[in-house]
Structure 1
């Protein structure tokens, strides 16, 4: 789907957070749902299979979320995702075409339907608005440690914080989430993309390069028990860039989720050359604003 639609969805989430009076972390999706008269129900832990769902029942919608994964950040993101289906233009109508109830698997799973991806981006904007993320990252520690600080401030999962950090980072950063030998998804900051052109983009389903991350994933216990490893790598090893650009490859297993997060950064690299003023998002907004009408 068009990248601009995802940016619009994220910005809509940011607007809702602002309209509800949030000016600092953390942003509470449960309180936002309550302010809209939405009933929140915790799904019993023995019921597995979906992360959550929303039911449109006349004037009293309700949201349910999974508890079998004992992660506050995951549960908060799930509720925020379902709020995306409530707030985003066209989502209630799309859901009501077939059923009053819609179930979701929140969490940036590439290849899903457009409304699922839009709801994910709405959730990321709602829980981690751009200006608050940049405040957290600017002047702080870089790499995985900075992502962990953001996750703690925002009460979000490490994965969600990593994605937003890569999107908003004032310095070059990339993150890769993988499972086994395969890439699940990859996000790069604008500064990272400017390190060399063109850079190879790691797409869903592509094989991990021969690397410490690939070796790490060969032992399931590394992932299951959240083990960590940091090595030095180069832009050439992962992204077909120059070999003289060296990066930290910080690896952490994500436990019961079954995935691995790898963060690429370096404290010796210059800050983002775009400096937040002429980045891709600004160009998209300028280009598309005359043609699109923003929703509520």
Structure 2
């Protein structure tokens, strides 16, 4: 899955939000669906498994979203994810190859399916456009508090807000989502990647012996949404400098069943004016040049 395709999916989501008149937070995916004459319905909370589905048939398009996870932000992300399947080029055709109904597990926990990853990035761009996200982060403290500020402003899930923080933050920050003793996925900001030659954590990797692993050992920490703050080092997490101290802020994600870890430090803060525009550089590198 190329970074360029994910960038295009995210920017498609941002464009849809702007074209539908959303220039401030929050962006409402239910309103956007209504404007497209897409029927959106809630699924019975007793039915668990998938986060939602999209249906393409002769009568029109419908979206069903799960309600067993008690997070309005997650439900909004699920609807935005399904809208990605509707708006992204090639998705309806790919889905219809297998039939009119397509089930999803939104929230960056998919396997290798490219259209699911693209739909997640569309959803993050739709709900948290880059300009609005950066404005919110500039006004908030570094770390978990900044992520929570963005989630509140955008009415987004904490995990989606954390991922957008890593993508847009003008300072070094990394986020890890984990379950028990294993990493589920992780993201680093551009500033964080510049801290040295770092080992990137992938799904299934074991958690280091830090505060996150200790936190995950107590099931009630996750179920009750508890949070703790401790310190660890860049070396413990990514094999970087042992002298680089990180604030390790950990919070349980309730019925979602995962843990979010935010790794940052006030001492590593970048000057926002020196932030490079990676997206423009990436687009420029892919733009054909003719003689």
Aligned-residue RMSD, C-alpha:
1.4
Distance between the aligned counterparts of 1:106 and 1:275, measured in 2?
34
TM-score (norm. length: structure 2): 0.96
Could you tell which deviates more after superposition, 11-20 or 282-291?
282-291
Please give the secondary structure, in 1, of the residue aligned with 2:11. helix
What secondary structure is seen at the aligned counterpart in 1 of 2:285?
helix
Match of 1:294 in 2: none
Contact 2:200–2:238 (8 Å) recurs in 1: yes
By how many angstroms is 1:290 displaced?
A: 2.5
Equivalent residue, structure 1, for 2:158: 158
8 Å CA contact 1:130–1:168 kept in 2: the answer is: yes
Q: Which runs of 5+ in 1 are unaligned?
A: 292-296
1:58-113 superposed Cα distances (whole Å, 9 cap, x missing partner): 25111111111121001100000000000000001111112011111111015231
Distance of 2:81 and 2:5 partners within structure 1: 16
The alpha-carbon distance between structure 1 residues 113 and 274, as it changes in their structure 2 partners (threshold 3 A), is farther
Partner Cα distance (2:272, 2:32) in 1: 37
Q: 1:13 to 1:278 in 2, by over 3 A?
A: closer
Q: Give yes or no for contact 1:170–1:272 (8 Å, CA) kept in 2.
A: yes
Q: Distance in 1 between matches of 2:112 and 2:58?
A: 27
Deviation larger for 32-41 or 225-234: 225-234
Q: Does 1:184 align with 2:184?
A: yes
Contact in 2 for aligned 1:191/1:274 (Cα 8 Å): no
1:193 aligned partner:
193
What is the distance in 1 between the residues matched to 2:33 and 2:274?
35
**Structure 1 pair 272–59 and aligned structure 2 pair: CA distance change class (3 A):** farther
How far 1:10 moved relative to its partner?
Answer: 0.5
**Aligned-pair CA distance for 1:262:** 0.5
* CA–CA distance in structure 2, aligned partners of residues 101 and 193 of structure 1: 40
SS at 1:56 equivalent: strand
2:225 counterpart of 1:226: yes
Aligned to 2:258: 259
Match of 2:133 in 1: 133
The answer (yes or no) to whether the contact 1:192–1:272 under 8 Å persists in 2 is no
CA contact (8 A) 1:10 1:125 kept: yes
How do residues 42-121 of structure 1 correspond to structure 2 at under 5 angstroms? 42-58=42-58, 60-121=60-121
Structure 1 position 278, deviation (Å)? 4.3
Corresponding residue number in structure 2 for 1:242 = 241
Report the equivalent of 2:204.
205
1:134 is displaced (CA, Å) by: 0.3
- The offset of 1:121, in angstroms, is 0.4
User: What is the match of residue 283 of structure 1?
Assistant: 281
Is the 1:110–1:185 contact (alpha carbons within 8 Å) kept by the matching residues of 2? no
Contact 2:57 2:100 in 1 (8 A): yes
Cα pair 1:191 1:272 within 8 Å, conserved: no
Contact 2:110-2:116 at 8 Å conserved across structures: no
Cα offset, 1:275, TM superposition:
3.0
Greater Cα shift, 170-179 or 237-246? 237-246
Shift of 1:137: 0.5
Q: How many residues align?
A: 289
State how far apart, in whole Å, the 2-side matches of 1:278 and 1:77 are. Answer: 26
Distance 2:277 2:47 in 1: 47
Distance 1:265 1:103 in 2: 36
TM-score by length of 1: 0.94
Q: Distance in 1 between matches of 2:272 and 2:38?
A: 44
